[in-house]
Amino acid sequence: MNRRATILAVLLVVALVVCGGVALAAAQDARQIVAEAQKRTHSASERYEGSLQVVNAKGKIADKSWIFTRIGSSGNSKSVLRFTEPAEVKGVALLVVNHPDRASDQWMWTPAIARDRRIALQDRSQRFFGTDFSFEDLEERDVDQYDYRMLGEDSMDGAACWKIEARPKESKSSQYTLSRVWIRKDNYAFALIENESKGQLARRLKYLDLKNVQGIWTALRLEMTDLRKNSRTILRLGRLEYNAPVDEGDFTLQALRRDQ
């Protein structure tokens, strides 16, 4: 090999190393951004009263309401969601126990038949009681359950955002093959999540009416759209409170059956 060829070979190796280093740094930066966004939402507990409007493909609106309570955070949380209206779903409740290294455990209580059932992994893609949220959408998205790639920068509702691709790791057992996440640069709040399933855009979640609540930037209105059914659910958060005293005993199957 002559001198020129040797120099070209060395430059090619250096270029490959640099490009590989840039790609690794970008992946690390993307993960760090998501981790910071998760960190800024940390609280010991959360409670809100949610009002929902479910709008089907023909524009018909169904109103529902639930009470949501959570204890813990960052992958080790437990939450209970219980419908309060209308009468036909009142008392229906979902207990979610999140884990940092695998999919959550979920149980649903249906008072009309006085029965609880465990939600199997293969059923997590189903809609939760007529809303556009699937069972999986109601669990916590822990940062360590995904691999990340920086897609660039974008603007969402006038706010500069990072656009990041998140792919679930094998342990996640997700219905979604990938998600695209928009995170605001000014306060690290989520602005939008698009979820794909087998190459098809399945659901889009918008975070709207952002407000600083007890030091946590929170979307007081969330809009979940099911692109395959052309329907959407608008969730509005009321009487929201972070870090209030919560009894851990409320997050059990026994409490799920008892509190109606």
- Summarize pLDDT for 140-178 with one digit per residue, the tens: 888 999 999 999 999 999 999 999 999 999 877 899 999
Distance linking the first and last C-alpha atoms of the chain: 81
- Kindly report the pTM of this predicted structure: 0.87
Architecture label for domain 39-258: Clam (2.50)
- Parse the chain into domains and list their residue ranges: 39-258
Query: What would the two tokens of residue 96 be?
Result: 């979610």
Percent of the chain with pLDDT over 90: 80
- pLDDT tens digits, one per residue of 19-69: 444 444 455 699 999 999 999 999 999 999 999 999 999 999 999 999 999
Task: Provide the pLDDT for residue 1.
Answer: 54
Contacts of 222 (CB under 8 A, 6+ apart): 205, 206, 207, 208, 234, 235, 237
Position 228 scores a pLDDT of 95
Report the distance separating Cα 106 and Cα 111, nearest Å: 16
